[in-house]
């Protein structure tokens, strides 16, 4: 059975979710998060995808992003995956997949839903009881919005 086509509306943001295979960790140390963000920035710029919000949790990633064209997020995610998985596998002397299948995405088709997704992404570390306030978590877009070092 062929894969279902991903929905796309020009100028419409998407909530992107990528989880670690078998819920395993995708990030172990600070350098892992830094490396992922470096490659995310490069891939987003290259494929013309605006990243509005993000959070990198131990075993999953949430992004709020708007692609300029239909394949932008797919191409960005694929390029990012190639670079980051190669780094991760080399660093931790492992092989194989890091992510559990394809990324999942949902169209963000209203302003109300947009703000809901922002809060959902940025409060994820608080809900996981990793921090008491979202500004304390270093691997999220919250700190950038609050002009705290990222």
**Alpha-carbon gap, residue 75 to 108, rounded angstroms:** 19
pLDDT of residue 144: 78
Q: Kindly report the CATH number that applies to the domain delimited by 13-109.
A: 3.30.70.1290
Tell me the whole-structure pTM to 2 decimals: 0.91
Contact 54, 63 (CB under 8 A): yes
pLDDT at 138 over 90: yes
Domain-wise residue ranges, the chain = 13-109
> What residues does 16 pair with on adjacent strands?
63, 105
Reported as a single tens digit per residue, the pLDDT across 33-58 is 999 999 999 999 999 999 999 999 99
**Alpha-carbon gap, residue 76 to 74, rounded angstroms:** 5
- Give the up-direction half-sphere exposure of residue 37: CA atoms within 13 A in the CB hemisphere: 16
pLDDT of residue 43: 97
Q: What percentage of residues in the chain have a pLDDT greater than 90?
A: 79
pLDDT at 150 over 60: no
pLDDT of residue 11: 80
Average pLDDT of the segment spanning 110-122: 94
Which token pair is 110? 């209203």
The SS3 of residue 42 is helix
- List the one residue out of 26, 21, 16, 27 whose CA is nearest residue 101: 21
């Amino acid at each position: 059975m062929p894969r279902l086509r991903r929905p796309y509306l020009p100028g419409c943001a998407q909530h992107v979710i990528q989880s670690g295979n078998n819920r395993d960790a995708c990030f172990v140390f600070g350098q892992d998060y830094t490396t992922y963000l470096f490659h995310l920035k490069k891939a987003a710029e290259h494929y013309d995808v605006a990243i509005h919000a993000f959070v990198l949790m131990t075993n999953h990633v949430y992004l709020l992003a708007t692609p300029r064209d239909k394949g932008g997020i797919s191409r960005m995610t694929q390029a990012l995956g190639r670079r980051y998985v190669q780094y991760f596998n080399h660093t931790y002397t492992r092989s194989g997949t890091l992510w559990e299948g394809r990324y999942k995405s949902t169209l963000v088709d209203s302003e109300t839903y947009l703000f809901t997704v922002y809060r959902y992404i940025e409060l994820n570390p608080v809900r996981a009881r990793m921090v008491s306030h979202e500004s304390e978590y270093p691997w999220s877009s919250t700190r950038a919005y609050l002009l705290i070092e990222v």
